[in-house]
Structure 1
């Protein structure tokens, strides 16, 4: 297991535990660094903090006193902790570097690295690249925002392996030297403004994906989106565009009515691609480019595209019950993702939606509600969705306490041939720890229906 061999800091604060904080603390401790841990949860209710203290690390829990920064040279923070946090703000005022554990992963892994970001499609694209490399017999490791802590995975990788990382804006904002050999910038839509404040700041966080790239690296980007094109103008890497609208025969990945191409080479007929949804074509194009630039083969790429149907919690077919089809799209934590989900169906649909209220306007969903016959709503935004239903003439709308009840009520409202779609358009944190927990509850409820 690898450790940080040339780490220049002797005393590090790990701010916030959860999975990433615990992994970072263990790595730093194993690397001979003096580690101080600060976590909001009280010590008696904090088994992670108890375990780390037993290893000899200093642990401060139950609050964030300013003294946690005494003698500290470097801060590794949980990505979800905002920069308005008093400890983070004070650290920056003192010119103490504040990073996320992705930066530590980059320090550890010396092989090829593919970094994938965007407002939507990250998980699907990351999984596709990883599966394409595996099918090509090219060693690969999967990590990042997809659920596997990057610095933990990096400890076990070899230099022959390609690390494929899903990267959120929260993670990227906390990087300094991070530099993927191949970067993918999928798209940029309004999201996480409660964290970043403005779209410009959100875009700049995403742009850290390629901030340190050189002419020896590659940046695959969405040429069809003006905001992305504007942001990549100053990239130093080799630019590889993908487009559903233009024929990029000289420089990129593109489609026509029948095939997907890499430059002038046909990769696969569109009719042979198993993954449904027009929006997924962008994810597929980007993944094809990254796989080819990272040692993937045409045969391996084709094998995956002919069999891959999607990832858990993203437009996941759960079950058919008495001719009703249930889909779990719990990973739809913003409006664009739910638009894409609704657009994929033409059957009468019962939409299950709601969650954390970030102040977003739901009216953008209006053009996509034409097949929605009923809504079952939950969470902080339930009343907003109820108004959306009323404004669009959807007379059947019910508010429930959780997604288990939502699945049951939707079934009672449905008829044979209907689609019952969990696509919340909101983050889960008002009721659930993660979107995975929300999706699992929904699927458990579906499997108990008779």
Structure 2
């Protein structure tokens, strides 16, 4: 009994030591660094603390009662707020988590696997986008979303784009620092490959640009993980040319329509297609026929930087087995193609890209997702073995996506950035829990 009471007292004393007192000390430290800190600082004493914490927490695995929560959440309005937050964390020995959109698969931007005091710096208020058409560049704050960037680019030019992902609610800070890519990666590489400069706050509170931080640190922040080496305030991006209209296509085949044979064949073709072609496959369970027989479906998708008339002869030459036809394809702007790839109806307002809380791209549920990189085609017999897994009860909503590599990805050295998966990779695989509704989910970490 005594040991039981002692354990309870120890537990309570731990909570006081690691939660209440550090939070008070942290708030006091912040109050000495800038005025009105209460307007952007949330602790568990604030009624809106948990709503702010969960506002961009995409994976409910990390919002359970047993998940460690931060001592405080800071939502800075200026660089000085971040400098103060970092200074006080360093002074009090607190860990820092940096969040721009919360889409990282393992919740690393808003939780910790260890019971240690930490603070979340949420960049949701730092989201300005400034596009310079003449220079084909943009300065973007880390709290902006991919959709906000695409929308602002489109307002200035229909023939400029940026090679980021198709998940328009994803925060750019994590996407750029985590090695994210999208439908232009075979043409122009990763999002991080197209970063020209950055403004970063380091552990000492200094605001550094590419020149003052040095090339080693500039290398590390472009794929080495968000918040690992400092907090990036903003990024200077190189915009890339695209046609005024592109072609987006989608065609679905079931197992009864030779889906296995087509997926197997795709592995040998996709990475060799012209660099202005993006292609992926989504594989999931489906029902087919009069008696709703269970089967699998493979949906092949393409975005081609050209017209339908240019694309169809190309596909007839390179992949005639698929039977891609005129009715499977639509011409649209490149910005609109990103909405098409997440299965939104054609003609949906482009302002949809500005919706930061949309669950169209990713429903907020409990999930686990993983990735692989494929260097040799998977034999058809192995694919059939993989298909069998879909018929298990726990996999009834599972999705597997294949995203072709090659093109520009083969031309960039594996040491150019911390993202090493370049030449030699035929395609990437993502194993998803069925809550993603995209045709081919493009890589994103945050």
TM-score class, shorter-chain normalisation, is under 0.3
TM-score normalized with structure 2 length: 0.24
Q: Report 1 or 2 for greater relative contact order, CA contacts < 8 Å, sequence distance ≥ 6.
A: 2
- The TM-score normalised by the length of structure 1 is 0.24
